[in-house]
C-alpha cells in the first residue's frame, strides 16, 4: 500500500510539474519571440534566453527535490524494507517529465530543430540526474534552495537535518540499550517454565533487567524530551520506575505484588511507545543521521 501511495503522489506531482514547466517556458518564450522579430541581437533576447535557462535549472532542482522528499517520506517508515524498489520507482518518475516533454516536442519541430532539441534534452537529463543523486545522498542540501517547498509540504522533516549535540547522543544509546535488555530479559522469563536450564535463564534475566535499569538511569530526561515530546518523562516515570520494582521483586522470594505494580507501569509505557514509536525514530533520523533508524517495535 505504501508503494502504491508513493507512486500516486509522484503521478500527481508529475502532472503538476509538467504544467508548471510548460507554463514557465511559455512565459519566457513569448518575449523571446517578440524580441527576435525586432532584433535578434537585442539585450532583451539575451536576457530572456538566460532567464529561460535559469528557470529550467531551478525547476529541475525543484523537481528532483519533490521526488526525493516523497521517497524519503516513505522509506523512513519502519514497515518499509525494500528501499531500492522505492528509489527505482522514484527515479523513473523523476525522469518521466523530460521524457514526456521531449516526445511531445519532437512531434512539432523540423529535423534541424530536433537535433538542437535533443542536445538540450540530454543536457537537462544529465542535470536532473545530478540533482537527484546529490539530493538523495545529501538531502539537506536541497533545503537551502527549496526550503520554501519543503516547509510548505512538511517534507522538511525528512530533508532538513539538524545535528544533535555530540554530548547528547549517549542518551539515545542508553535508551535503546535498556529497551533491548528489557526485551531479552522478558523473553528469558517467558521461556523459563519450559527451559531445561531454568536457574541459568532466570539468572540471565535478572542480569538483563539490572543492565536495563542502569542504562535507562543514565538517560537525561530533558535531552530525550527535546528530541521528542514526553519521551524522557515517559521513560523515567514509567520504564525506569518499573525496572526498579522488577529488580527488587525478582529477588527470591519473588514479590508478586511489586511485579504487578511494575506490570502496570510497563503497560502504560508500552501503550505510549506503540503510538509514538515511528515518530521517535523519524525524529532521531533527522537529527542523528548515522543512527540506524529502522528499528522494529518488539513486545
Top pLDDT among 179 and 164 is at 179
> Do 151 and 135 touch, CB atoms closer than 8 A?
no
Look at residues 48, 87, 81 and name the one whose alpha carbon lies nearest to residue 69: 87
Place of cell 540526474: 129
DSSP type of residue 254? P
pTM of the predicted structure, to 2 decimals: 0.56
pLDDT band at 33, cuts 50/70/90?
A: low
Place of cell 507554463: 23
CA terminus-to-terminus distance, the chain: 25
Separation CA 299–CA 294 (nearest Å) = 16
Contacts of 245 (CB under 8 A, 6+ apart): 258, 259, 261, 262, 265
- Over range 216-241, report the average pLDDT: 89
| pLDDT at position 114 over 60 | no
Query: What per-residue confidence (pLDDT) applies to 217?
Result: 92
Mean of the per-residue pLDDT values of the chain? 79
Q: Which region among 65-69, 110-114, 188-192, 203-207 has the lowest average model confidence (pLDDT)? A: 110-114
Report CA 189 to chain centroid distance, whole Å. Answer: 36
Among 14-23, 125-134, 149-158, 181-190, name the most confident range. Answer: 125-134
Residues 122, 128, 133, 138: what is their CA dihedral angle, to the nearest 10 degrees?
150
Digit-coded pLDDT (tens) for 48-62: 778 778 888 899 999
Query: What per-residue confidence (pLDDT) applies to 294?
Result: 44
Top pLDDT among 274 and 286 is at 274
Rama region for 127: left / alpha / beta (φ>0; ψ in -120 to 50; rest)? alpha
Q: Which region among 45-54, 62-71, 181-190 has the lowest average model confidence (pLDDT)? A: 45-54
- Cα 117 to Cα 105, 109, 112, 129, 205: the distances in Å are 8, 9, 9, 18, 70
Separation CA 261–CA 287 (nearest Å) = 35
| pLDDT at position 112 over 50 | no
pLDDT band at 296, cuts 50/70/90?
A: very low
All three cell numbers of 232, joined, read 524522557
Amino acid at each position: 500500500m505504501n508503494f502504491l501511495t508513493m507512486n500516486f503522489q509522484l503521478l500527481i506531482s508529475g502532472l503538476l510539474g509538467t504544467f508548471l514547466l510548460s507554463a514557465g517556458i511559455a512565459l519566457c518564450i513569448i518575449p523571446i519571440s517578440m524580441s527576435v522579430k525586432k532584433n535578434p541581437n537585442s539585450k532583451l533576447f539575451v536576457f530572456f534566453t538566460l532567464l529561460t535557462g535559469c528557470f529550467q535549472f531551478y525547476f529541475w532542482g525543484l523537481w528532483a527535490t519533490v521526488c526525493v522528499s516523497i521517497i524519503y517520506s516513505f522509506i523512513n517508515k519502519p514497515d518499509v524494507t525494500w528501499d531500492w524498489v522505492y528509489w527505482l520507482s522514484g527515479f523513473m518518475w523523476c525522469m518521466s517529465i523530460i521524457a514526456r516533454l521531449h516526445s511531445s516536442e519532437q512531434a512539432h519541430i523540423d529535423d534541424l530543430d530536433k537535433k538542437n532539441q535533443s542536445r538540450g534534452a540530454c543536457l537537462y537529463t544529465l542535470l536532473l540526474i545530478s540533482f537527484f543523486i546529490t539530493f538523495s545522498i545529501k538531502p539537506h542540501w536541497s533545503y537551502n534552495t527549496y526550503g520554501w517547498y519543503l516547509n510548505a509540504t512538511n517534507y522538511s522533516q525528512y530533508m532538513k537535518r539538524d545535528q544533535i549535540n555530540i554530548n547528547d547522543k549517549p542518551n539515545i544509546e542508553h535508551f535503546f540499550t535498556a529497551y533491548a535488555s528489557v526485551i531479552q530479559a522478558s523473553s528469558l522469563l517467558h521461556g523459563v517454565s519450559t527451559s531445561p536450564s531454568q536457574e541459568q535463564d532466570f539468572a540471565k534475566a535478572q542480569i538483563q533487567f539490572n543492565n536495563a535499569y542502569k542504562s535507562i538511569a543514565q538517560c537525561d530526561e530533558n535531552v530525550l524530551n527535546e528530541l521528542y515530546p514526553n519521551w524522557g518523562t515517559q521513560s523515567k516515570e514509567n520504564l525506569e520506575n518499573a525496572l526498579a520494582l522488577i529488580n527488587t521483586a525478582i529477588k527470591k522470594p519473588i514479590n508478586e505484588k511489586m511485579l504487578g505494580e511494575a506490570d502496570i507501569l510497563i503497560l502504560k509505557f508500552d501503550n505510549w511507545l506503540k503510538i509514538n514509536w515511528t515518530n521517535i525514530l523519524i525524529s532521531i533520523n533527522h537529527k542523528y543521521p548515522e543512527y540506524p533508524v529502522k528499528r522494529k517495535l518488539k513486545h
